[in-house]
Amino acid sequence: MTSPITQTRTPKSRTYLYALLITLFIFATAFYVSTYFNSQRIQDIRSTQDNISTDILSLETQFDLLQQRSCDSVTENTILPSELISLGNQLSYMEAQNSSTNKDEIIRLKRLYSLLQIKDYLLMKQLALKCNLKPVFIQYFYTNIGNCIDCEKQGYVLTKLAQTYPQLRIYTYDYNLDVSALKTLISINDVDNKLPALVIDDKVYYGFQSEADLINEIPQLATLEKATSTAATSTKK
C-alpha cells in the first residue's frame, strides 16, 4: 500500500520550476525536430532541382549535338514532366505549411523552380521545331496574394488534366515572384495581372477555364496518350 498523505498542500517551488524547465525543453525539442524535418525536405527539393538542372543541361548538350545528327533519340518525354510536377507539389506543400522559419528558403526554391520550368519550356519548343514533335504546352499564372478562389479551382482542373494526359506539359508560375526571366516571359506573352491566366499557343485566357473549355481550346489533347492509371499529384494553385 502506498500512502501519499505525508505531502501537504504547501507548494514546493522546486517542482514548479523543474516542470517549467522540462516543458521548455520539450518545446525546444519539438521545435528542433520540426525544423530538422523541414530542412530535410528542403534538401529533397534541392536535390530534385539539381537533378532537373542536370537533365536540362544534358538535353541542351544533346540538342547541340543534334544540330549534326537526327532526332531519333528524342521524344516529348525527354524531360519527364512528372519530375517537374512532383517538384511543384513539394513546393506547394512546403508553402502550405506556412512555416515562418523556411519562408525565405521556399521563395528562393520557387524562383529556381520557375527558372527550370522556363528553361524546360524553351528547350522543348526548340526540340519540337527541330525534331517535328508536337508537345502541348499550358503556361499557368496564379497568385498567392489575396484570396484567388479561381486560382484554386484552376489548379484542380489542371491537376486533373496533368493526371489524364501525362505528356501534357503544364508550367505553373507565381505571377508575383521576383524573377527577371519570369517577368520577361510575362511581358512577352502580354499577361495582365488578371489571374488566373493561361497561355496556350501564344494566346492568353483570363479567369477560370473549366476542363471542357480547355479540351475545346486544345484540340491537340486528343492526340496525347491518356494515363492508364492515375498517380496522386496535384498542381499548385
Partner 1 sequence: MIWLIYALFFVTLYFEVFMLLAFVTTKTDHDEPGGLENITFPRVTIIVPCFNEEATLSATMHSLLALNYPHEMLDIIIVNDGSKDGTLTVAKTFESDPRVRVFDKPNGGKHTAMNFALQHTNSEFIGCLDADSIVDPEALRAIIPVFADDRVAAVTPGILIKKPQTLIQHMQDAEYRLSVFNRFTLAALGSAFITPGPFSIYRTSIVRDMKGWRHGHSTEDLEMALCIQDAGYIIANAPTAVVYTGSPRTVHALFKQRVRWTYGFLRNSIDYHYMFGNKKYGNLSIIILPMALLSIFAAIIFFTRLIYLLIGQILHAFARWQIVGIQLHAPTFDLFYFNTSMLIVLVLIAIALVIGLIAVGTELVTGKRRVPFGTAFFVLLYSFIVPLWLATAVVRAAFKTGVRWR
Q: Is residue 160 a contact residue for partner 1 (CB under 8 A)?
A: yes
Q: Is residue 129 a contact residue for partner 1 (CB under 8 A)?
A: no
**In contact, 118 and 182? CB cutoff 8 Å:** yes
Rounded distance between C-alpha atoms, residue 212 and residue 112, angstroms: 32
Write each residue from 69 to 108 as x if it is in contact with partner 1 (CB under 8 A), else as -, in one continuous string: ---------------------x--x---x-x---------
Rounded distance between C-alpha atoms, residue 197 and residue 143, angstroms: 10
Identity of the residue, 3 or 187, whose beta carbon is nearer to partner 1 in the bound complex: 3
**In contact, 91 and 236? CB cutoff 8 Å:** yes
Number of Cβ within a 10 Å radius of residue 38: 17
Residue 87, Cβ density class (10 Å: 0-12 exposed, 13-18 middle, ≥19 buried): buried
**In contact, 212 and 161? CB cutoff 8 Å:** no
**In contact, 74 and 131? CB cutoff 8 Å:** yes
Find the binding residues for partner 1 in span 41-60 (CB under 8 A). 41, 44
Identity of the residue, 6 or 187, whose beta carbon is nearer to partner 1 in the bound complex: 6
Rounded distance between C-alpha atoms, residue 172 and residue 231, angstroms: 19
Angle between helices 13-66 and 81-97 (to 10 degrees): 160
Report the residue from 153, 200, 204, 205 that binds partner 1 according to the rule CB under 8 A: 153
Identity of the residue, 118 or 168, whose beta carbon is nearer to partner 1 in the bound complex: 168
DSSP state of 104: H
Identity of the residue, 114 or 163, whose beta carbon is nearer to partner 1 in the bound complex: 163
Report the residue from 159, 167, 172, 235 that binds partner 1 according to the rule CB under 8 A: 159
Identity of the residue, 111 or 160, whose beta carbon is nearer to partner 1 in the bound complex: 160
Specify the stretch interacting with partner 1 by CB under 8 A; choose among 10-18, 74-82, 122-130, 193-201: 10-18
Q: Is residue 163 a contact residue for partner 1 (CB under 8 A)?
A: yes
Termini Cα distance of the chain: 63
Rounded distance between C-alpha atoms, residue 194 and residue 145, angstroms: 12
Report the residue from 176, 184, 210, 223 that binds partner 1 according to the rule CB under 8 A: 210
- Write down the least CB distance from residue 227 to partner 1, Å: 12
Identity of the residue, 111 or 153, whose beta carbon is nearer to partner 1 in the bound complex: 153
Residues at the interface with partner 1 (CB under 8 A): 1-12, 15-16, 18-20, 22-23, 26-27, 29-31, 33-34, 37-38, 41, 44, 90, 93, 97, 99, 152-153, 156-157, 159-160, 163, 210-211, 229-232
